[in-house]
Amino acid sequence: MAGKLYLCATPIGNLEDITMRALRILKEADLIAAEDTRNSIRLLNHFEIRTPLTSYHEYNKIEKAHQLAQKMKDGLTVALVTDAGTPGISDPGEELVRICYEEGIEVTSVPGASACITALTMSGQKTRRFAFEAFLPRDKKERAEVLEEIKNDTRTLVVYEAPHHLLHTLRDLHETLGERSVTFCREMTKKFEEKRRMTLSEGIVYYEANEPRGEFVLVIEGKSRSELKEEKQKSWDSISLEDHMKIYEEKGFDKKSAMKAVAKDRGISKREVYSQLLKPAHSQ
């Protein structure tokens, strides 16, 4: 019988947030793969779990994943844990999961705490649709590309950030996204849990005066649909109706369909498009 990979969520703060099932799996597993064994050993000692530990982190994620996969093919059961929260979310666990699928090894999840979902639900921002961006890239070019991609996203955005990078990230977000409402969450589920809801510019002022401490989850308001629609209409207003029509006609639209698309883009009726296109011909 082949073994199995269990993705075991661990507390993001309060130790009582671990599930009964997670405790059982961690005790019954043959091996626990941990992102940082120094952090995980404290959790395991607290719950008197004696299962052997091995390190699985960003710098050995491919080589070690193949080693772990072989152990599971030999029949061992492996429980994967991250420093806090659900493994496989913004950590090397995704590589181990991928390799397990390639090797035909069963993967299952032991759900529990997640910093992303915890912050989102108590942020006061819209929760029906959201995009998880994790940590923005450090590379300047890639970072600019990602920010450009998300600036018109109407979904609520969830971003992780370390305290020493917070102000730099807030300035980049404000410059690209403009003014937005943002909820700052830190120390979640702990004694000194903190949520601050303000605008991006207010956040910059606040954290310039108050040194950021602890890991942050930023829950950022998405762009409003009305603002996005207005911006699109303004961009179309910068070209003539004739050129606007050509764009669609060159894509293979017939004249009637092109007029309908142009009217929708500009927020006017098809009749208005038709009458305006006729004006130059009548004036000749």
Q: Per-residue pLDDT averaged across 30-45, rounded?
A: 95
Is the pLDDT at 131 greater than 70? The verdict is yes
Q: What is the dihedral of CA 267, 272, 273, 275, to 10 degrees?
A: -170
DSSP conformation letters of the chain: ---EEEEE-B-SS-GGGS-HHHHHHHHH-SEEEES-HHHHHHHHHHTT----EEE--TTTHHHHHHHHHHHHHTT--EEEE-SSB-TTSSSTHHHHHHHHHHTT-EEEEE----HHHHHHHTSSS--SSEEEEEEPPSSHHHHHHHHHHHTT--SEEEEEE-GGGHHHHHHHHHHHH-S-EEEEEESTTSTT-EEEEEEHHHHHHHHHHS---S-EEEEEPPPPHHHHHHHHHHHHHTS-HHHHHHHHHTTT--HHHHHHHHHHHHTS-HHHHHHHHHHHHHH-
Is the pLDDT at 251 greater than 90? The verdict is no
> Using one digit for the tens of pLDDT, what is the confidence trace for 145-199?
999 999 999 999 999 999 999 999 999 999 999 999 999 999 999 999 999 999 9
Task: State how far Cα 215 lies from the chain centre.
Answer: 15
Q: Which pLDDT score is estimated for 235?
A: 65
> Using one digit for the tens of pLDDT, what is the confidence trace for 50-108?
999 999 999 999 999 999 999 999 999 999 999 999 999 988 999 999 999 999 999 99
Is the pLDDT at 229 greater than 80? The verdict is no
Q: Which pLDDT score is estimated for 69?
A: 96
Q: What is the dihedral of CA 194, 219, 20, 45, to 10 degrees?
A: -60
- The β-bridge relationship of strands 4-8 and 78-81 is parallel
Phi, psi of 53 (to 5 degrees): -110, 145
> Using one digit for the tens of pLDDT, what is the confidence trace for 102-113?
999 999 999 999
Q: Which pLDDT score is estimated for 162?
A: 96
Cβ count within 10 A of residue 77: 19
- Band of the pLDDT at 259, cuts 50, 70, 90? confident
Q: Which pLDDT score is estimated for 232?
A: 67
Q: Per-residue pLDDT averaged across 113-123, rounded?
A: 96
- Band of the pLDDT at 284, cuts 50, 70, 90? very low
Rounded Cα distance between 35 and 284, Å, is 75
Pair of tokens at residue 139: 């590379």
> Using one digit for the tens of pLDDT, what is the confidence trace for 200-211?
999 999 999 999
Rounded Cα distance between 109 and 97, Å, is 11
Q: What is the dihedral of CA 156, 162, 167, 171, to 10 degrees?
A: -40
Q: What are the b/e assignments for 180-209, b being 16+ CB within 10 Å?
A: bbbbbbbbbbeeeeebebeebeebbeebee
Check if the beta carbon of residue 78 is closer than 8 Å to that of residue 29: yes
Owner of token pair 């091995």? 54
Is the pLDDT at 274 greater than 90? The verdict is no
| 218, β-bridge pairs | 159, 184
